[in-house]
Structure 1
Amino acid sequence: MEWTREQRYTKLDQMSEENYQSLLDATAQSKWRQHYHIQPPTGLLNDPNGFVFHEGQYHLFYQWFPLGPVHGIKYWYHLTSTDLVTFNELGPAILPDTLWDSHGAYSGSGIVVNNEVKLMYTGNHRTQDWQRVPYQLVATLKGNQVSKQPVIEGPEAGYTEHFRDPKVWYEQGMYYAVIGAQRDNMTGTIVVYQSPDFQHWTFTGELATDYEDFGYMWECPDYFELDGQDIVLFCPQGIEPAGDAFNNIYQSGYLMGHLDKENFNFSHDHFIELDNGFDFYAPQTTLGPQGERILIGWMGLPDTDYPTDNENWAHCLTLPRVLSVENHKLMQRPLPALTQLRGTVETAEGYAMKHNVKLHPYEGDCYELIVDVLENESTEFYIELRVSKKESTRLIYNQADKCFTLDLFDSGKLGQSLKSYTRSVILEADLKKMQIFVDESSIEIFLNDGEKVMTSRIFPGEDARGIRTSTESGQVYFRFTKYDLKERPHG
């Protein structure tokens, strides 16, 4: 179905309750609905927004187009949680209902100011001749209602209309915001604003990096200090693949170093992808109650298609990850509270070897699998998940190259926009541990205790439930611990 502009900019209140309920009912029947990931009730989910902890609970929003699996007029859908495991779904909180966000509430972030949750986001306004005017708005959250006002109108001189996604923080008596931007010469960058009161904002200039010509637009910037390092996350668009790197339509990664906040010069290492899978974008972080830095990303990408498009919904959010810096590497580990989802546990250990394909006795489609590699004398080994007679999602590890590959060629139905069926990553040390979360239509793989992560949507058939192992040559001794995961409670 080709969506017209009019259809994409139809608001939720312009649809009858009966028609909207039919969309909800159709989505609920999808065989690929997730069990424990955040997903939209219907329509399209994208960027996580407004992620903040306040007075004992997290607030988390995501961009939402309710009427179909396409990018149309965006709302912010609101969830709250005390632990990021169980969520209360409060529904749309920021609506496209003013001049400043008349054509969609784009991405932004949250912060606590004077004991109130404040949200700063980009409002998308279109003129009669369809010219975009971006506004940066400040909204105050009270319950599930917001009051909002614009604080920055349009882009600064020297930048195009692509000027969005403010991420805010407070430091030494001053509020700061970084915004993703496109220069007039069609290169991407990050610009900086500051404010003494969160209402009056002054343009400071660009965040100066070594990447002056690195894609045509930088989206969803984030800044934080972690374990003595300054870290900037952003999503550059227009990066060409380089070997195993940058093999998605758009990328998401980070720079680590030292940020001079007097002039916003950033001395940093090279750009590193945050996730080496197929479906990860627009991550946002916040501080938890113990000072831990927590990240949630969009399990999807712009300009992609998925089999669920035919069922009137698309995309979900990743599981929350706790970040740390160890040996000058950004580590990502599953939030410890996710163990609350664990149900029945099964364990097994033994050898996998050439010409001895082992079909493990347990199966399932929604589980956490911990794989310990206790001995490895193979040249290459294979772990296959969601296995049926015709389908499997293959995990491949080459011992000599320390190369781990995720192969989706036989995973089931795939989107037509995939550039490749495989993505690979080189590990610094031998592979010793995998922690894998498999849901009805996704897989998240944490390698070597969070050194690398690979996230992807998969769409296998209902009979694809098995697990098997084998090697190219030699043998491997595995220990498997598998937890059935309970469906995430909805409130």
Structure 2
Amino acid sequence: MQNKDRSLRKKAYEEIKEYQEIVESDPYRLDFHLMPPVGLMNDPNGLIHWKDKYHVFFQWMPFKTGHGAKFWGHYTSQDLIHWIFEPIALTPSEWYEQNGCYSGSAVNHDGKMKLFYTGNVKNERNERETYQCLAVSEDGIHFEKKGVVIHLPEGYSAHFRDPKVWKHHDKWYMIIGAQTKDHFGCAVLYMSDDLIDWELKGEISGSKENDYLGYMWECPDLFHMDGVDVFLFSPQGLEPQGIHYNNVHQSGYVIGELDYDGAVLHHGPFCELDRGFEFYAPQTTLDEEGRRILIGWMGVPDQDEEKQPTRAYKWIHNMTIPRELRIKNGKFHQSPVEELKKMRGTLFEKKDFNINNESLHLSELDGDVMEIVLKFGHADPYNRFEIDLFDYAKLIYQNESKVLTLERKNFDNKSTESRSCQIPKLATLQLFIDQSSIEVFVNDGEEVFSSRIFPDKKNSSIHLSSSGSVTFDLWKWELTGYTYQTSEEAKREANMNPLNG
């Protein structure tokens, strides 16, 4: 199918060239987040640190701002700041992936990069078929497809996808997100000696009637960290429970111990990874410095995607900033990677700043690409503290109820919507604001809110207000953002103009 692959690549690159000026004219285009060059971006795939480079593959629909037969796009970076758009990694050119090269992972094996992904097929009766597939590369850029390595086992629906592969001792393991024939979400474990022949070990965890956790689990990721096994996944079908599970679909984790012989994960309760409006399908990798790095999709499937204003400019969605994971007191903490400090420019600093039953505007905080850090005093007698961002979004901490809330205007009808979490004591807030997104790290990453925001671009002002007296130190940096370029190989393949930031 080399002719079909070449044809699909050609059409995708033509789409980039045709709409490049429109895409880059969007005032909501981001400065320091990975975005598609055109069309729709969703799940991060194949996240790996390989031969001194970070590789971020991504689900990509180049031909529209909706979902469809996905490609794998590809960015690389040596420092998580300067990014190179590489040649397209995978196109849905073969029979076993004709309706999309769905999500998966990457491993280093014998000096080669190997991608495992789900081939999505709709047959002549419009029934879904699913295949777990392998592609291999010598250079991390050009991939040779090896075809199907796992077919759908008995007992599961065709919603069986997103393989994550890792090595434990001398064996390779693969975890796949799945749905049982009874419509319960679960995770299935395979084992292999050679990454070609795979043995089904069993269902390591799953949703049950008496412990319901959704009808489908997507984008699984399992790794060992600080003496425990951590399982990340994105369950679909959870009903809201107070301040929990308020997005259409969720992403979270459990901590425990995987019994590799018995194929059972003994674990604690499910915890949400992010409290914001847009966060899904996170994936992690262990880099060569020993850090566990996470990147997520700043979007949620089926959640007002068609109402986002960037669609008028022929693109939609982006990734989160890279985050380093740590476990503290049995809970994940997420911190922006250290490399992002290199983006810091002009600094505004104010120590022991106090506001007391007032609302004020500091012109020094104006802007739409910046990092803001607040470190709070220990014993201030306040009831409420609020940060109003561009008359569009608000961060509100209620000291009495110990609840932190992010409010914003709905994409469609501009009504107010909110997401919240419990914070027993508000110590620090770190805000990354970028044209049309906000990521809030609370108490050094104890909680995180990731969301898209689309304020009037004429309004760049921030207001601080309180009920009672609040004292804090404040730092604000203007941020320079990422740099982008197109690799020489991709330019030769596409005969396209370089991408701009």
Same fold, TM-score > 0.5, yes or no: yes
How far did 1:356 drift? 4.0
Residue 477 of structure 1 corresponds to: 471
Q: Report 1:321-340 matches (<5 A).
A: 321-340=323-342
For residues 343 and 362 of structure 2, the distance between their equivalents in structure 1, rounded to whole angstroms, comes to 26
How far did 1:307 drift? 1.6
1:64-95: per-residue Cα shift (whole Å, max 9, x none)? 00012100111101111112221111031111
For residues 12 and 203 of structure 2, the distance between their equivalents in structure 1, rounded to whole angstroms, comes to 43
1:199-240: per-residue Cα shift (whole Å, max 9, x none)? 111111101357563211100000001111111000000000
- How many residue pairs were aligned? 471
Secondary structure of the residue aligned to 1:259 is strand
For residues 90 and 432 of structure 1, the distance between their equivalents in structure 2, rounded to whole angstroms, comes to 41
Residue 5 of structure 1 corresponds to: none
8 A contact 1:343–1:485 mirrored in 2: yes
Residue 201 of structure 1 corresponds to: 198
Q: Give the unaligned 5+ runs of structure 2.
A: 1-6, 486-501
How far did 1:374 drift? 2.1
Residue 490 of structure 1 corresponds to: 484
For residues 91 and 433 of structure 1, the distance between their equivalents in structure 2, rounded to whole angstroms, comes to 41
How far did 1:11 drift? 4.7
Aligned residues: percent identity? 38
Secondary structure of the residue aligned to 1:361 is helix
Moved >4 Å (runs of 4+): 209-212, 417-420
For residues 298 and 108 of structure 2, the distance between their equivalents in structure 1, rounded to whole angstroms, comes to 27
For residues 15 and 251 of structure 1, the distance between their equivalents in structure 2, rounded to whole angstroms, comes to 31
Aligned AA (2:483)? P
Q: CA RMSD in A?
A: 1.9
Query: In the alignment, is residue 361 of structure 1 matched against residue 364 of structure 2?
Result: yes
Query: In the alignment, is residue 84 of structure 1 matched against residue 88 of structure 2?
Result: no
8 A contact 2:55–2:76 mirrored in 1: yes
How far did 1:266 drift? 1.7
1:388-436: per-residue Cα shift (whole Å, max 9, x none)? xxx2321100112221000103xxxx43499971011002x41010111
Residue 239 of structure 1 corresponds to: 238
Residue 313 of structure 1 corresponds to: 315
How far did 1:180 drift? 0.5
How far did 1:153 drift? 4.5
For residues 36 and 314 of structure 2, the distance between their equivalents in structure 1, rounded to whole angstroms, comes to 10
Q: Give the unaligned 5+ runs of structure 1.
A: 1-9
Aligned AA (1:158)? G
8 A contact 1:435–1:445 mirrored in 2: yes
Residue 269 of structure 2 corresponds to: 270
8 A contact 2:149–2:196 mirrored in 1: no
Residue 145 of structure 1 corresponds to: 142
For residues 378 and 484 of structure 1, the distance between their equivalents in structure 2, rounded to whole angstroms, comes to 29
Q: Report 1:31-430 matches (<5 A).
A: 31-143=27-139, 144-208=141-205, 213-304=212-303, 305=305, 306-349=308-351, 350-375=353-378, 376-385=380-389, 387=390, 391-409=391-409, 414-416=410-412, 421-427=417-423, 429-430=424-425
For residues 309 and 479 of structure 1, the distance between their equivalents in structure 2, rounded to whole angstroms, comes to 39
How far did 1:15 drift? 7.1
Summarize the Cα distance change of 1:403–1:109 in structure 2 as closer, same or farther, 3 Å threshold. Answer: same
Secondary structure of the residue aligned to 2:153 is coil
1:233-284: per-residue Cα shift (whole Å, max 9, x none)? 0000000000000000100000011111111222211100000000000000
Summarize the Cα distance change of 1:103–1:417 in structure 2 as closer, same or farther, 3 Å threshold. Answer: farther
More off after superposition, 361-370 vs 292-301: 361-370
Aligned AA (2:70)? K
